[in-house]
Amino acid sequence: MKLLFIGDIVGQPGRNAVKNLLPKLREQHALDFVIANGENSAGGSGITPRTAGEIFDAGVDVITSGDHLWDQKEVMELLANEKRFLRPLNYPAGTPGRGSGVFEVQSPKSKVQSPISIGVLNVQGRTFMQPPLEHAFLLAAEEVKRLRERTKIIFVDFHAEATSEKIAFARFLDGRVSAVVGTHTHVQTADEQIFPGGTAYLTDAGFTGPHESVLGREIEPVIKRFLTAMPQRFEVAKNRVQLHGAVIEIDDASGKAVKIQRVSENLI
């Protein structure tokens, strides 16, 4: 099977990019499944049922999130009712929502088994990240063990800042999951590879939104913030909108990755 993972969708420009580019990408790559990080989809901060609805309507099957999870209070509704919405797994026990799910791939092209199930897992790093969450590596390993009882095809969005933590986390899970792709930095890295155990990896998928910006926000207020150390309003920028992510091909029988390819598409 082939899946597309889309890096952090920032504001309305990001949602527009998904709406306009996803149908073409689905066809071009013969995609079976699409996962997107939606933590910045509402005005650049957080996610609401409305922005999540727009992303699902555009053809995304599962939405992951990260440290901006709580920025919009309406997220509580998603956490309570939307099974296709994931939050980082490693929140303390009792936190609303879920960190993983097993989903059925609609109309798979596979000859191996039908229907195909895919496990999706969202985990947050602990190095230079707020708030401090529970142990990412150990909880992820336990969750992967549970997911593997149902399917060998497992995708992990590791929402983290430090490249060392991201690489170590993915190396730790090599051979146990199909892919680990990082999010959060909003800067796409060029280190896509498949580890010896068969896990596809990319340190960061990048972000989907306006790239004439600082990580999706207007440039001037961010410069001013660094110059003066005074708080500024960071509006979502407008121009040079791109969709960033990665396409991953997975062997259905073994769950091992066959290919990983970075995606960076302009919205014209």
Return the residues of window 177-206 that contact Fe ion according to CB under 5 A: 184
Q: How far is the CB of 169 from Fe ion (least distance, A)?
A: 15
Q: How far is the CB of 208 from Fe ion (least distance, A)?
A: 10
CB of 6 or CB of 140, closer to Fe ion: 6
CB of 67 or CB of 218, closer to Fe ion: 67
7 binds Fe ion (CB under 5 A): no
CB of 66 or CB of 210, closer to Fe ion: 66
Cβ atoms within 10 Å, residue 14: 31
Q: Which two tokens stand for residue 131?
A: 């708030």
CB of 105 or CB of 129, closer to Fe ion: 129
72 binds Fe ion (CB under 5 A): no
66 binds Fe ion (CB under 5 A): yes
8 binds Fe ion (CB under 5 A): yes
Of the listed 29, 68, 186, 244, which one is catalytic?
68
Give the nearest residue (CB) to Fe ion. 8
Return the closest-CA partner of residue 66 out of 30, 35, 90: 90
152 binds Fe ion (CB under 5 A): no
61 binds Fe ion (CB under 5 A): no
Q: Which two tokens stand for residue 197?
A: 């155990």
166 binds Fe ion (CB under 5 A): no
209 binds Fe ion (CB under 5 A): no
SS3 label, residue 5 = strand
Active site residue 186: no
Q: Are 263 and 26 in contact (CB under 8 A)?
A: no
Q: How far is the CB of 8 from Fe ion (least distance, A)?
A: 4
CB of 39 or CB of 204, closer to Fe ion: 39
40 binds Fe ion (CB under 5 A): yes
125 binds Fe ion (CB under 5 A): no
Residue among 54, 67, 218, 249 that touches Fe ion (CB under 5 A): 67
Q: Binding string, 216-255, against Fe ion, x = CB under 5 A? A: ----------------------------------------
Helix, strand, coil percent content, the chain, rounded in steps of 5: 25, 25, 50
213 binds Fe ion (CB under 5 A): no
265 binds Fe ion (CB under 5 A): no
By annotation, the residues acting in catalysis are 68
Give contact residues for Fe ion (rule: CB under 5 A): 8, 39-40, 66-67, 184
